Structure 1
Amino acid sequence: MSANLGDRLREIRKRRGLSQRELSGLSGVSLSLIRKLEQGERDATRLETARRLAQALKVPTTRLVVEHAEEAADRDEMNRWAPVHTALAASPSPDGLAEEPTYDGVRDALRAAVPLFAGDRFTELGRVLPPLLRDVEVLTEADPRGRRLRARLLELTGWLMTQTRQFDAAGTALERAMTDATDRAQAAAIVITRCWLLLRRGRLAEARALASHWADEVEPRMSRATPAELSTWGWLLLRLSAAAVRDNRPGEAEDALRLAKSAAVTLGRECTPENDFLRAFGPVTVDLKRTENAMVAGRPDQVLSLAAAIPLDTLKPTSNNRNRHLLDVASAQAQLRQYAEAVDTFQKILTGSPQWLPNQRYARDILGRVVSRRRTLTPEMRMLADVVGLPM
């Protein structure tokens, strides 16, 4: 295969016996964009567009794009988290500390920090996370028990860095967390976040392979599985499904989703095993991800139909799964020209998670479509455009 997207697109299109115009009609991608890609005037496109082209050409998305990362954080955002990056890279040193950290002290500080992660309280995390990373490094040098604490803190840090599009720092944190993991259960939990990072970086094949391998590794015996085991297995299957649907493998995506549903049905309700918000799982979570798959597949009508049956009031307003789902709903509403409804959906997210919404590139894209199609903007639309950082 040729090295760039345009060459690969042209070669596969020719093998399928399609003209550029025919491919445009089948995929819904504009003829002008297809021409620009094939002529090398554009060397990249959105993963969503690549998936639509791949679907029309009946090939996996990864045949067209090897890696298509989401846009990384801008310079201001990188500077905001620079102390965390520095703490991740620093060598452990007790120099300058009033007293050396103790196991109980670091454990309690980590427990106190978890609600900040769960609530997307980024401002407070920016203050407490660097010294906590430093303390756990120093502790682990002196006390082997610190290793498990360090693995957990690095997992949470990797999740936060992924959330805020600090992808290189996230990769560093999660790789180190895997090295520190003290058992298979902890390693599998870290893998769930690693798969999310891979998805956001567009590394679909790698995400599929990693999720599939670990799902096989930890598949529980349903009759005696604990909630933690069911949640971990279910989340790995959800990551597998997400990678597969983006790679234009709908059958594989549906199979993984069906198995995840079986784990959720066995649980019988939404639960948070071991009080770990990252593994909150149950029937509603699976339904949210089914809706997300429908959005990826370009079915806004199905998104709204599925969403109408989901009891969102069972999830906390700070739940990232809830809010990511609401962005899918807003996107579907925008595509169906239900602009007032889309704005109302944005308002729900902003009310529950005011620090989360500005960090979502997806939110900016959706609102950008709404704004571009409106002759005049309501005060709410203008306010939301400022919140998500939509360019003037």
Structure 2
Amino acid sequence: MGATFGQRLRDVRKRRGLSQRELAAVSGVSLSLIRKLEQAERDGTRLETAHRLAVALRVPTTQLVSDRGDGEPEGSPADQWEAVRRALTDTVRVPGPEEPPTLTGVRAALDSALPLFSTDRYTELGTILPPLIRDTDALAETDPDGKAVRARLMQLTGWLLTQTRQFKAAHVALERALGEATDELHAATTVSTQCWLLLRQGKLDAARELATRWADEVEPRVSRATPAELSAWGWLLLRHSAASVRDNRPDEADQALRLAHSAAIAMGREFAPEKDFLRALGPVTVKLKRAENALIADRPDHVLQLAERVPTSGLRPTSNNRNRHLLDVAEANVRLRRYAEAVDVLEHVRTVAPQWLPNQRYAQDILGRVIERRRTLTPGMRSLADAIGVPL
């Protein structure tokens, strides 16, 4: 159900760090009326009064009067991907420069973009991806080797769009990547991302079945397998486990996690190819996913115990797997009513992954519950809430 006028007023006031008395002084609205509105003794007020409150709180009047419901908050980062979505779906080719793209040039451009993907540089990616997608499309029409480059770009783009909740466009990109996969391992990595996309959409059965089928197909002989083969198999098992634990199939989830652990142990360390970060896997990654499963099973104390045993080395500070784990740690702290600790974790993630964090609805939910349970907010909490996009 939507929030009332009084609830919205109280939430925005808290975010601005004002007491009821201070808001009354700044807005010119009586303290008694503000109290009655926030305590639901009055359902609403005149538009003129709402406007005075909105001016004092520095928000649009409609933000107090109207309930946006479950829609995206204003200023949603989704808008920055419009040009990428167009480049994926437009059938009419945009005229390019007179010189057509070359295989060497496009490969070099994609290689130079890899650090932007692996470190979540969304602003830069939103700018360079549309022309890069169009160049790879043009190249693939004239050069057979260009299809492999396009498959690789589509795989990365599908992963990025899944990360940023652009689900329809992610599906398009991943289907194109799978259709042009150059080998079984490339296809398995793409399917792993497809499973993640299904998980984020809540399609647990489809994710579990897809991960199971492909894990069976690519299962290697562990004693002879290469790190790339173990990584492809291990990630599919992790997707299987994630879908199963969310679908209340704990035994199935544990079995898949044990097999993924065996793959990671056979690798001996974190496998992190320089030019293919999506295949990064190893014992530390599996530990992070074990903690994620523990949180799904509502064992926040166990999450924190596992987190203490996760090595601080072995993963990049900007690793999505590492930062997703830290969100689980923050959530576990919230469930245990350790709100200051949760905020400290979120502040750390904000420091190491400033463009990634605002795209995580999970982070917004975590901090939103902290805000709800505190009478007043520190300046740091208000700044963090604005930075990650907690709705006012």
Equivalent in the alignment of 2:235: 235
Q: Which residue of 1 aligns with 2:56?
A: none
Q: Match of 1:314, SS?
A: coil
Find the counterpart in structure 1 of residue 339 from structure 2: 339
| Unmatched segments (≥5 aa) in structure 2 | 1-69
Q: What are the equivalent positions in structure 2 for 1:255-274 lying under 5 Å apart?
A: 255-273=255-273
SS at 1:343's partner residue?
helix
Greater shift after overlay, 131-140 or 341-350? Answer: 341-350
In the alignment, does 2:324 pair up with 1:324?
yes
- Asked whether the equivalents of residues 300 and 333 of structure 2 are also in contact (C-alpha less than 8 Å), the reply is yes
Q: Secondary structure at the match of 1:382?
A: helix
**In structure 1, C-alpha distance between the alignment counterparts of 2:232 and 2:193, rounded to whole Å:** 11
> C-alpha separation between the residues in 1 aligned to 2:72 and 2:179?
25
Deviation string 1:240-282 (CA, Å, 9 cap, x unpaired) is: 0000000000000000000000000001111214631111100
Q: Match of 1:167, as an amino acid?
A: F
Is 184-193 or 134-143 further displaced after alignment?
184-193
User: What corresponds to 1:389 in structure 2?
Assistant: 389
Q: In the TM superposition, what is the alpha-carbon distance from 1:131 to its structure 2 partner?
A: 0.3
- For the structure 1 residues 353 and 333, does the alpha-carbon distance in structure 2 shift closer, same or farther, using more than 3 Å as the test? same
The one-letter code matched in structure 2 to 1:334 is V
Q: 2:333 aligned with 1:307, yes or no? A: no
- In the alignment, the residues of structure 1 paired with residue 282 and residue 101 of structure 2 have an alpha-carbon distance, to the nearest angstrom, of 38
Question: Is 1:249 paired with 2:249?
Answer: yes
Larger Rg: 2
Q: 1:140 to 1:106 in 2, by over 3 A?
A: same
Q: Which residue of 2 aligns with 1:372?
A: 372
Distance in 2, Cα, partners of 1:272 & 1:221: 21
What is the CA-CA distance between 1:294 and the residue it aligns to?
0.5
Residue correspondence of structure 1 range 1-392 to structure 2 within 5 A: 76-91=76-91, 93=93, 95-273=95-273, 275-392=275-392
**Alpha carbons of structure 1 residues 153 and 333: separation in structure 2 relative to 1, 3 Å:** same
Q: Residue 183 of structure 1: CA displacement?
A: 1.6
CA offset at residue 185 of structure 1? 1.4
- Structure 2: distance between partners of 1:89 and 1:348: 37
Alpha-carbon distance in structure 2 between the residues aligned to 1:317 and 1:73: 28
CA distance in 2, matches of 1:241, 1:278: 18
Q: Which residue of 2 aligns with 1:33?
A: none
Check the 8 A contact 1:73/1:165 in 2, yes or no: no
Indicate conservation of the 8 Å contact 1:295/1:303, yes or no.
Answer: yes
Shift of 1:163: 0.7
- How far apart are 1:73 and its partner, in Å? 8.8
User: Which amino acid is the alignment partner of residue 311 of structure 2?
Assistant: P
What percent identity do the matched residue pairs reach? Answer: 63
The Cα shift of 1:77 comes to 3.2
In the superposition, the TM-score normalised over structure 2's length comes to: 0.80
Select the structure with the greater relative contact order (CA < 8 A; seq sep ≥ 6). 2
Match of 2:16 in 1: none
TM-score (norm 1): 0.80
- Does the Cα contact within 8 Å between 1:94 and 1:138 map onto a contact in 2? no
- Seen in structure 2, the aligned counterparts of structure 1 residues 390 and 72 have a Cα distance that, compared at 3 Å, is closer
Residues 265/114 of structure 1: CA separation in 2 closer, same or farther (3 Å cut): same
- Residue aligned with 1:368, SS: helix
**Paired residues of 1:357 and 1:388 also in contact (CA < 8 A):** yes
Judge conservation of contact 1:72–1:167 (CA < 8 Å) in 2: no
Q: 1:310-369, CA deviations, whole angstroms, 9 ceiling, x for partnerless residues?
A: 013321111000000000000000111111111111111011100000000000000011
User: Which residue identity lines up with residue 174 of structure 1 in the other structure?
Assistant: L
The whole-number CA distance in structure 2 between the counterparts of 1:153 and 1:75 is 28
Contact 2:158 2:173 in 1 (8 A): yes
1:312, 1:322 within 8 Å by CA — same for their partners in 2?
no
Find the counterpart in structure 1 of residue 49 from structure 2. none
Q: 1:101 to 1:74 in 2, by over 3 A?
A: farther
Alignment CA distance shift 1:94-1:381 (3 Å): closer
The question of whether the paired residues in 2 share the 8 Å contact of 1:155 and 1:190 is answered with yes
**Any idea what the Cα deviations from partners look like across 1:270-299, whole Å, max 9, x if unmatched?**
121463111110000000000000111111
The 2-side partners of 1:312 and 1:196 are apart by: 25
Aligned pair in 2 of structure 1 residues 74, 176: CA closer, same or farther (>3 Å)?
farther
Give unpaired runs (5+ residues) of structure 1. Answer: 1-69
Q: For 2:78, give the aligned amino acid.
A: M
Tell me if structure 2 keeps the 8 A contact 1:227–1:273.
Answer: no
Q: Figure out how many residues of one structure are paired with residues of the other and give that number.
A: 323
Q: Deviations over 1:89-121 (max 9, x none)?
A: 123747332310000111111111111000100
Give yes or no for contact 1:72–1:165 (8 Å, CA) kept in 2: no
1:73 and 1:265, CA in 2 relative to 1: closer, same or farther beyond 3 A? farther
Give the drift of 1:75.
7.6
Task: Report the aligned-residue RMSD.
Answer: 1.6
CA distance in 2, matches of 1:366, 1:92: 43
Distance 1:325 1:76, change over 3 A: closer
Structure 2 residue aligned with 1:10 = none
Flag the 1:84–1:280 CA change in 2: closer, same or farther, 3 A: same
Give the 3-state SS of the residue equivalent to 1:96 in structure 2: coil
* Partner secondary structure for residue 270 of structure 1: coil
Q: Which residue of 2 aligns with 1:19?
A: none
Q: Residue 144 of structure 2 aligns to a residue in which SS? A: coil
